[in-house]
Chains A and B, each alone.
Chain A
Amino acid sequence: MPGQDIQLAISSSPHLRSQETVPSAMKDVLIALLPVTLVSIYMYRFYAVFLIAVCMISAVLFELLFRKVMKKQATLYDCSALVTGLLLALCLRPGTSWWTAVLAAFFAVGIAKELMGGLGWNRFNPALFGLVAVTLLAPLYVGANPSFAPLRQYFGPLDVITQATPLALIKQGAFEQLSLSQMLIASPGGALGETSALALIIGGAYLLYKKQIRWHIPVSMIGTILVIATFWGNPLANIAAGIPLYHIFAGGVLLGAFFMATDWVTSPVTTKGQVIFGIAIGVLVMLFRKALGPTEGVAFSILIMNAFVPMIDRLTRRPKFGELPVKKEAVVPTKPSVSKST
């Protein structure tokens, strides 16, 4: 008989698996980041290429190093180090020195991710953790030794980086210098990943289309920012000046909303939790922008809310199936039941 010697495997059901794996999901994120990466390279040329290369390579090396030291199997195949490296580079400004980028990658992959147990165990978004770590530490090391300060890369003239970021312009009330359409399509100023709102929206749309992210976090976060930006002050004047849209297109809001706040590992798992998470980030972003300095507000807001994720998950526990509400109207009309004749 044919097939007599077949070894039959046994395992628990289900016996079919979807095609999606962690590496394939990560690759989708990389693809989604491609538009903004290309715009930033177009804008900042070698500054961008250099930072992206430094961040991605050092992220991979730190992952290898930390796993080696901790005697764990290497997990490069999951591509998460590449995603973290690229996201980190997109958070940095052109001209950032190579060792700042390496230090940021060390904090991102080494401390925030691997020391916490690796992918899936980190409480904070690694890229943002790395960014905020070097931002906070900068006065320390620059203050300790002024020779650190000027260590910038030089790839030729790049006037644009001296330009004030759109957010700083808004703060100064001088935002008319940049038109909304310019900010939407592409404009220099700020970090690599802040060069084109459109590119970020395309990337976000791709992630939504591929179902790698759900709409709840980006929509609630952006919506909250829109609402607060509109109603802070005179709503009509704000709308007339397009201030709400400036707040969305400027700074790290879109990068944060589509790529950082939606980080699977560090966001809530329930729909309700995701909405709460998004709204809270939006509120914090606007508090940072209105009350504090214009730097890294989105990063701080997301990291702060990362810390609350376990609590949000606990508070938004899903109700039992049987206790979920049902719509009243019946699909098939109920006929009066005939008397039970037993």
Chain B
Amino acid sequence: MNIGRAIFKGGVHPEYRKELTASLAVTTPPVPQKVVIPLQQHIGAPCEPLVEVGDLVKTGQKIGQSESFVSAPVHASISGQVTAIGLYNHPLGRKITAITIEGDGQDEWDEQANSVENPDDRSPEELRKLIREAGIVGMGGATFPAHVKLSPPDGKMIDTVIINGAECEPYLTADHRLMLEKPEEIIFGLEVIMKVLGAGRGIVGIEDNKPDAIRVMKQVAEGKPGISIVPLETKYPQGAEKMLIQVTTRRRVPSGGLPLDVGVVNHNTGTAVAIADAIQKGKPLIERVVTVTGEGVRRPANLMVRVGTLVNELLDFCGGLKEETRKLVIGGPMMGLAQPTTDLPVIKGTSGLVALTVEDVELSESGSCIRCARCVEACPINLVPTFIAQAAEHEYFSRAEKLHVTDCIECGCCAYVCPARIPLTQWIRIAKAEVLARRKG
């Protein structure tokens, strides 16, 4: 126990259930026979395809890109032939144009993609370009293109880079395994990010329910200038950007502001590893660790999965879903998206597949608010969720705006604690979207 450890107000303690996979080393399933690679796996402009149906592609070859700055290219994750370019199911819930590749079983790498030349004496500008070309996005699930975060606008000084190893979402252990198995890569990635931004301080924040990860990371970070490993209280949403910044730097991101407004840039551990792979090995982002877990999965596992692998194939590899499965969530159970189908691809931001069973999935009706104020206490961002939800329910959006609805980080704590089972987060999301839409005009 760390005395005087920084904490944030609010938050909840859901059952973490990480023991299902926490001790399982990352394994690599066979290279898939077919992948479906959506042209949009990031926040920002979608990519245009660079290949046509019938083209032969190699692993790591760039197959989609956009001229827009806020975008990230996509790469073939297996070698083979492009068999279709068209709309396909996407974890975001709508169909998005995707490139389907039938594998040739060779997994032949694109030579250009594998080239390495003196990573150490690259300039920040070159590093940024390499990261962009590798198609790296925020791998915690937000999928914001990494190079954009590495290009702060003029006049914004970044002095601190935080690597998010909190992994506060229940069930997920992908980041935990990365910290145990690839600590050097994480620290290297952090150093690259610090170099690109000219930041003197690097922090890796890890929840204290992962003492092994804290130990390993401390060993590797030993003697690295400016880098410290910070154990964090185990509490959801510890890994939320604003919480992480507050507890590690005592700075508060202003309303409507970004971390860079307080001199901080946050990246996920997975992103740091992807950056290390891109710089050290010239390897684009074509695979990631996915935690396939939940009581509904027969053989939970941490898997190194090629981007574009179909979810149903991944589930089959883990023994399939049990009968009592009621929900399949992509991402963590607090903020992830429930999927109506398993016929959809793993994308760059897919940190986990969580199969929840009858016992976890409650489909009860909601009652009226009893004003117990549990949501008020749980909200890490100092809102009064029930008042905002009431405003949303009555379409009284100007009131929702006055209640700072746009500050909401949609962590789900309010709905988690609500004893009346009011879908508070959902109402707030509706109000937030409406208020933001009105602001745009």
Residues in A lying within 8 Å of B, measured CB to CB = 1-3, 6-18, 20-22, 24-25, 75, 78, 117-121, 214, 264-267, 269-270, 313, 317-324, 326-332, 334-342
Q: Counting CB contacts under 8 A, is B44 at the interface?
A: no
User: Contacts A13-B333, A119-B370 given; 19 further ones with Cβ under 8 A?
Assistant: A1-B320, A3-B322, A3-B323, A3-B325, A6-B325, A9-B327, A10-B338, A11-B338, A13-B425, A15-B334, A15-B354, A15-B361, A18-B14, A24-B419, A322-B257, A322-B407, A324-B382, A335-B225, A340-B197
**A-B CB contact pairs (8 Å), 12 listed:** A7-B326, A12-B425, A13-B410, A14-B415, A15-B329, A119-B367, A264-B373, A321-B242, A331-B250, A335-B200, A337-B198, A338-B200
Q: Are A15 and B250 in contact (CB under 8 A)?
A: no
Known contacts A265-B370, A321-B255, A322-B252; is A341 also within 8 Å of B124 by CB? yes
CA distance A20 to B374 in the complex (A): 10
When distances are taken between beta carbons in the complex, the residues of chain B under 8 Å from A327 are 250
Q: Are A8 and B338 in contact (CB under 8 A)?
A: yes
When distances are taken between beta carbons in the complex, the residues of chain B under 8 Å from A339 are 198
Known contacts A8-B338, A332-B248; is A25 also within 8 Å of B320 by CB? no
CA distance A75 to B421 in the complex (A): 15
Q: Are B333 and A16 in contact (CB under 8 A)?
A: yes
CA distance A62 to B117 in the complex (A): 82
Q: Counting CB contacts under 8 A, is B247 at the interface?
A: yes
CA distance A6 to B386 in the complex (A): 34
CA distance A265 to B203 in the complex (A): 44
Among A11, A13, A324, A329, the most chain B Cβ lie within 10 Å of the Cβ of A13
- Residue on B nearest A14 in the bound complex, by CB: B412
Known contacts A2-B321, A22-B367, A25-B419; is A13 also within 8 Å of B248 by CB? no
Q: Are B407 and A321 in contact (CB under 8 A)?
A: yes
In the complex, which residues 328-344 of chain B have their Cβ closer than 8 Å to any Cβ of chain A?
Answer: 328-329, 333-342
Q: Are A337 and B421 in contact (CB under 8 A)?
A: no
In the complex, which residues 399-434 of chain B have their Cβ closer than 8 Å to any Cβ of chain A?
Answer: 403-404, 407, 410, 412-413, 415-421, 423, 425-426, 429
Of the candidates A214, A264, A320, A340, the one whose C-beta lies within 8 Å of that of B382 is: A320
When distances are taken between beta carbons in the complex, the residues of chain A under 8 Å from B315 are 3
The proximity string for B residues 200-233 relative to A, scoring 1 for CB distances below 8 Å and 0 otherwise, is 1101000000000000000000000110101000
Q: Are B415 and A22 in contact (CB under 8 A)?
A: no
- Residue on A nearest B162 in the bound complex, by CB: A332
When distances are taken between beta carbons in the complex, the residues of chain A under 8 Å from B339 are 8, 10
Q: Counting CB contacts under 8 A, is B12 at the interface?
A: yes
5 cross-chain pairs, A with B, having the tightest CB-CB distances, nearest first: A14-B412, A340-B198, A3-B321, A322-B254, A120-B368
Q: Are B249 and A264 in contact (CB under 8 A)?
A: no
Least CB distance, B62 to chain A, in whole angstroms: 25
When distances are taken between beta carbons in the complex, the residues of chain B under 8 Å from A329 are 250
In the complex, which residues 293-332 of chain B have their Cβ closer than 8 Å to any Cβ of chain A?
Answer: 298, 312, 315-316, 319-323, 325-329
Q: Are A17 and B415 in contact (CB under 8 A)?
A: yes
Q: Are B356 and A326 in contact (CB under 8 A)?
A: no
In the complex, which residues 182-200 of chain B have their Cβ closer than 8 Å to any Cβ of chain A?
Answer: 197-200
Known contacts A10-B339, A119-B370; is A16 also within 8 Å of B360 by CB? yes
Least CB distance, B9 to chain A, in whole angstroms: 8
- Residue on A nearest B6 in the bound complex, by CB: A331
CA distance A265 to B410 in the complex (A): 25
CA distance A332 to B248 in the complex (A): 7
Q: Counting CB contacts under 8 A, is B87 at the interface?
A: no
When distances are taken between beta carbons in the complex, the residues of chain B under 8 Å from A75 are 367
Q: Are A21 and B419 in contact (CB under 8 A)?
A: yes
Q: Counting CB contacts under 8 A, is B48 at the interface?
A: no
CA distance A118 to B369 in the complex (A): 11
- Residue on A nearest B380 in the bound complex, by CB: A321
Q: Counting CB contacts under 8 A, is B384 at the interface?
A: yes
Give the size range of B's interface with the partner: 35 or more
Least CB distance, B353 to chain A, in whole angstroms: 12
Among A118, A121, A332, the most chain B Cβ lie within 10 Å of the Cβ of A332
Q: Are B384 and A270 in contact (CB under 8 A)?
A: yes
Q: Are A318 and B367 in contact (CB under 8 A)?
A: no
When distances are taken between beta carbons in the complex, the residues of chain A under 8 Å from B327 are 8-11, 15
Least CB distance, A63 to chain B, in whole angstroms: 14
Q: Counting CB contacts under 8 A, is B377 at the interface?
A: yes
CA distance A300 to B226 in the complex (A): 62
- Residue on B nearest A318 in the bound complex, by CB: B382
CA distance A296 to B348 in the complex (A): 65
- Residue on A nearest B329 in the bound complex, by CB: A15
The proximity string for B residues 341-370 relative to A, scoring 1 for CB distances below 8 Å and 0 otherwise, is 110000000000010100011110001111
When distances are taken between beta carbons in the complex, the residues of chain A under 8 Å from B248 are 331-332
Q: Are B340 and A10 in contact (CB under 8 A)?
A: yes
Known contacts A15-B329, A320-B255, A326-B252; is A337 also within 8 Å of B201 by CB? yes
Known contacts A318-B382, A330-B250, A341-B198; is A16 also within 8 Å of B14 by CB? yes
- Residue on A nearest B203 in the bound complex, by CB: A332
CA distance A214 to B378 in the complex (A): 13
Least CB distance, A49 to chain B, in whole angstroms: 29
When distances are taken between beta carbons in the complex, the residues of chain A under 8 Å from B43 are none
Known contacts A322-B255, A342-B198; is A14 also within 8 Å of B333 by CB? yes
When distances are taken between beta carbons in the complex, the residues of chain B under 8 Å from A117 are 368
Q: Counting CB contacts under 8 A, is B107 at the interface?
A: no
Of the candidates A14, A118, A317, A332, the one whose C-beta lies within 8 Å of that of B201 is: A332
- Residue on A nearest B12 in the bound complex, by CB: A18
CA distance A66 to B426 in the complex (A): 32
Known contacts A6-B323, A16-B360; is A120 also within 8 Å of B416 by CB? no
Of the candidates A1, A15, A267, A326, the one whose C-beta lies within 8 Å of that of B246 is: A326
CA distance A336 to B362 in the complex (A): 51
CA distance A335 to B257 in the complex (A): 24
Q: Are A321 and B325 in contact (CB under 8 A)?
A: no
Q: Are A15 and B371 in contact (CB under 8 A)?
A: no
When distances are taken between beta carbons in the complex, the residues of chain B under 8 Å from A337 are 157-159, 198-201
CA distance A12 to B429 in the complex (A): 10
When distances are taken between beta carbons in the complex, the residues of chain B under 8 Å from A20 are 374, 417, 419
Least CB distance, B433 to chain A, in whole angstroms: 12
Least CB distance, A61 to chain B, in whole angstroms: 21
CA distance A341 to B196 in the complex (A): 8
CA distance A121 to B390 in the complex (A): 12
Q: Counting CB contacts under 8 A, is B52 at the interface?
A: no
When distances are taken between beta carbons in the complex, the residues of chain B under 8 Å from A118 are 368
Q: Counting CB contacts under 8 A, is B18 at the interface?
A: no
Q: Counting CB contacts under 8 A, is B381 at the interface?
A: yes
The proximity string for B residues 103-124 relative to A, scoring 1 for CB distances below 8 Å and 0 otherwise, is 0000000000000000000011
When distances are taken between beta carbons in the complex, the residues of chain A under 8 Å from B31 are none
Q: Counting CB contacts under 8 A, is B130 at the interface?
A: no
CA distance A21 to B376 in the complex (A): 16
Q: Are B381 and A119 in contact (CB under 8 A)?
A: no
CA distance A258 to B369 in the complex (A): 21
CA distance A329 to B6 in the complex (A): 11
CA distance A338 to B158 in the complex (A): 10
